[in-house]
Structure formats: C-alpha cells, structure tokens
Chains A and B, each alone.
Chain A
C-alpha cells in the first residue's frame, strides 16, 4: 500500500479522527496534528498532536520530543514523551527517553531507560512536597546518602 520510502516534511493530518503512518512508510520531519495518530512505520522527527498517539508493535520513532494526549507504545521509541494524558508502555515496547504524563504505566516485559516525572507528593514523613527542582535534587541526594 504505502511506498517503501516516503520522505515528507510537515505532515499535517487534516481529519479530526485517526491518521495513520503505515508499516511501510518512513517519515522524516515534523508531524503536527489535531487528531489522533497511529504509527506503524518509521518516523524520525518531532511529533506534536492534540489527540492520542499509538506507536504500534514493529514501529519505530526517533524524536527529540513526542507530544500528545494519551500515548501508547508497543514499538520502539528513542525520544522524550510529553503527554497531557496517560502514557503506557506495552510488553513489547522498547523506549529510551524521558516520560511525562498524567500517569505512566510500564507493563512487565517492556524495555525502558529514562526518567519518569509524575506530579505527586510524598507523605510528610518522607519530606512531603518535593516538587521544586532544587527540593527534588536535594531529596535525591539525601536518599542516595
């Protein structure tokens, strides 16, 4: 269906619902969109979409940053995720990058290396709010002894 090699810059899905980058496609460039996106092929470049992002099994994305609402990864991602919704790594996922979202879940079997930055407070016995960058660094230094 898709051509084996497609180089596209500034791809913008126009429909409000799902856009798809098929398994044979290679995209290099920035992707922006209002809707959701399913990536089954290979993307190199930043993504910023309003809707949900799915990186399917077998797909790969290499990016500085991937921005979306909910993010589900079953394939490979080399890049940071900044999500306004939940982030989930399925068992076959291979992700190298930092994750930020309303919630982050990593299924058993997923491969991951990177930072997680959920927004929450520890109980007061453990120092309570340590959200400020310096507070966090201090807390981690203290925890590491």
Chain B
C-alpha cells in the first residue's frame, strides 16, 4: 500500500503522485494529478519530446474537457509508481491548457484500489494482485 499526501498549490490540495517514466534507456520523474474523471492519461508533449517520441506516430484521439476539445496522441510507455512498474498508455498533447500531467482511468486505475482520503488529504494506492 502506498500513501501520498495531497500537494498544496496556491492554497488548494491536489491528489498528485510522483511517477517515473522509462523509455528506450531514458528515465524521467515527474508528477501527475490522479483524476477519476479522466478516461485516459494525458501528459505534456514536452515529456514525449524528451524521450524522442514522434508525437504524430501515435494514434490521434480527441479529448473533450470542460473547456473544449484538444488533440492528443497515444503512446505506450513504462511507468513506475512507488515500487510498482507497469506498461501504460499515455496520450501526449501540446494543447493542454492546465499545466499538469493527468493519470486517468485507462491503463492505470485497474492496477489499484484507489482511495481519495479528503479528510486526511492523502491518496492511497493499494495494488491489486490480479492479471489483467
């Protein structure tokens, strides 16, 4: 079980976790907002640029949010959270207005029981030991 205290930015607390991305020998540790309202994970394209990923080689999808629609490109990449590594699908986009990375449900939520503990301001990830 992993616990992550919410991160405070400008007086507001967010369920943000550190995540390591690994691709073709390069590693990067960044942070991402865990968002149960997001169907897919969306990260900044500056990250895919760092890994040398050709954005447009990925499947193009359009993401509809509360403020409009953006294009993103799906790529497979290895993630590590705490001591748990897994292959995931991340949509990278140059059009995100919020300057965050988002961990959404697809290829992430099914690995964990996730508790948003608002009272204690912490996120709890409990690994599910099943083969998907």
Q: Do A and B come from one complex?
A: no
